Structure 1
């Protein structure tokens, strides 16, 4: 049975495995504005709660900070000997900051290692904040990228989280890119329900035209897995679209002018965050202060260069990265310099 969103009626539970064979994705260009909104949404989820700190009571400050889950050992490679040493920070990059931002369906359990077992990350972005904090560069890392996972051999990138949690995922991304990750942040898609309800619903482009979603409908929208033309790639696109819709409504309707709506939104938002233990409250405050002047025009978005698609063990459809172009792109990130121009046909995006 199909609902008003064009989604097959299924259980909201999402498997932590990738046993099913996903349809071969078709390269397709997407509007830059939608991708920028997705990044705005992710950054908003990470920092919005801190933009209004000046007007919060001491109790609310404490409550918001205590909502955020923190996990230790994210950058500890002692349990991953095959990973080798971490990349060194490039002295030329100065105060540049690199954040691995993960969207998933189980980040609420992020501080519990046992609860992470078997879970997979749905969306991964490398956020680069240059030394001057005048812009944000975001590189999407396709979850189905076929990469080398320390101690495990080659597999899909999102398997790293399933096998070793944030520590193995960070080690895999650092080895893949050569970029030293300064902070890790995970956003729980399940937490969107409370945020969407606090906003009075959001509007997305569904299969049958625009649809206004409440919290339950939004959660179903992003959790839909089957019946999508491009499989998990369309699922990721839905997640990004919801992030953009949340960010757009927050900025367009002056939500922060209403104390009650602000508190409800911020409580839901901060309960959805899991960060590394180095990203303490002071560090989050500093980050929020640095990013206050950022707008859509200050964002640059790109997907890690893709060479094509292939099939691997068990009939898995995988994304093959373009090694040469990726090296050029990540070298620019490490040195905190402008990205190289994209090659013809490189603007494919999941």
Structure 2
């Protein structure tokens, strides 16, 4: 039975704790947003319409025992990040490594051979010609740096939608995953983004790399990721060939962290299969990038 008192209740004093907490949160969000905007304009002064970064995962040559022995100069994973200066948006384009591009000598080759043939300058040039935009910065990370970055944020959450089983002794990796949700460490995530043994090969792999990138951004945006920024920056500096400054990395990270899922567009370079290669659709590429940079 519910007991009801006949005594009148005292008037309760208004509780200010929740109001103050809410106010502090609102102020923190406003200050954080302003700080991010200031950081962006300090890192990227001037009136350029956009900022672009060529992101590269470097391939390695392997001994028979599976140990990496040297950089092959091949670009195993290629992405282009385009961040408009004013719009609250960003575009990440996965470029299949078998994409056919024009080289300065007039010939056409797979894009992943550019860095081995002419270093980062040639990689910049062929990708710039491919998308019709200037490439401002680059970041090429090797496999060791990749795994360390993933482990530094505590792993990433990935859902596998079909069985993935393959061992590549020459490539130095193996994978054996059934469909389901996984919290992947660095080594598992590396095998996940490198896997291409399915019907669409490199195109399916590009889609998985986009899924991984979004999952990594989620972890970087978490409190653990924020607390680990200095450690991650050190890993990037030690394992990455990049001309990005720490200030620029922080500004880009802050901008991406502030975007919702709809504002960050992840896509694969428009094109079609031409034998084992990917033939770019230049008209569709222009239609994809021009709205962000005009």
Q: Do both proteins adopt the same fold according to a TM-score greater than 0.5, normalized to the shorter chain?
A: yes
The separation in 2 between residues aligned to 1:328 and 1:243, in whole angstroms, is 23
- Answering whether residue 53 of structure 2 is matched by residue 100 of structure 1, we say yes
Contact kept? 1:202, 1:214, Cα under 8 Å = yes
Q: Which has the higher contact order (CA 8 A, sep 6+)?
A: 1
The separation in 1 between residues aligned to 2:207 and 2:288, in whole angstroms, is 23
1:297 is paired with a residue of what secondary structure?
A: coil
Please list the CA deviations of residues 130-176 of structure 1 after superposition, one character each: whole Å capped at 9, or x if unmatched.
23152212333332222211126111122212211211111112223
The separation in 2 between residues aligned to 1:283 and 1:210, in whole angstroms, is 34
Aligned to 2:261: 296
The separation in 1 between residues aligned to 2:266 and 2:153, in whole angstroms, is 26
- Answering whether residue 216 of structure 2 is matched by residue 246 of structure 1, we say yes
Aligned to 1:139: 93
Contact kept? 1:103, 1:187, Cα under 8 Å = yes
Please list the CA deviations of residues 245-276 of structure 1 after superposition, one character each: whole Å capped at 9, or x if unmatched.
33223435x2147x5x5554444344343223
Aligned to 2:240: 273
Uncovered stretches (5+) of structure 1, i.e. residues with no partner: 1-50, 55-92, 108-114, 312-316, 338-350
Please list the CA deviations of residues 228-248 of structure 1 after superposition, one character each: whole Å capped at 9, or x if unmatched.
443333444443333333322
The separation in 2 between residues aligned to 1:139 and 1:275, in whole angstroms, is 19
User: Residues 299 and 238 of structure 1: is their aligned pair in 2 closer, same or farther, counting only changes over 3 Å?
Assistant: closer
Deviation at 1:319, TM superposition (A): 1.1
Contact kept? 2:158, 2:215, Cα under 8 Å = yes
* More strand per residue: 2
Q: Show the 5 A alignment for 1:1-350.
A: 94-106=47-59, 118-151=72-105, 153-206=107-160, 207=163, 208=178, 209-224=180-195, 227-252=197-222, 254-256=223-225, 259=227, 263-276=230-243, 279-285=244-250, 287=252, 293-306=258-271, 308-311=272-275, 317-332=276-291, 336-337=293-294
Aligned to 1:70: none
User: Residues 193 and 297 of structure 1: is their aligned pair in 2 closer, same or farther, counting only changes over 3 Å?
Assistant: same
User: Residues 288 and 151 of structure 1: is their aligned pair in 2 closer, same or farther, counting only changes over 3 Å?
Assistant: same
From the CA coordinates, give the structure whose radius of gyration is larger. 2
2:262 is paired with a residue of what secondary structure?
A: helix
How many residue pairs get aligned? The number is 226
The separation in 1 between residues aligned to 2:195 and 2:256, in whole angstroms, is 33
2:93 is paired with a residue of what secondary structure?
A: strand
Deviation at 1:100, TM superposition (A): 3.4
The separation in 2 between residues aligned to 1:282 and 1:212, in whole angstroms, is 30
Q: CA RMSD in A?
A: 3.4
Contact kept? 1:96, 1:128, Cα under 8 Å = no
The separation in 2 between residues aligned to 1:180 and 1:332, in whole angstroms, is 15
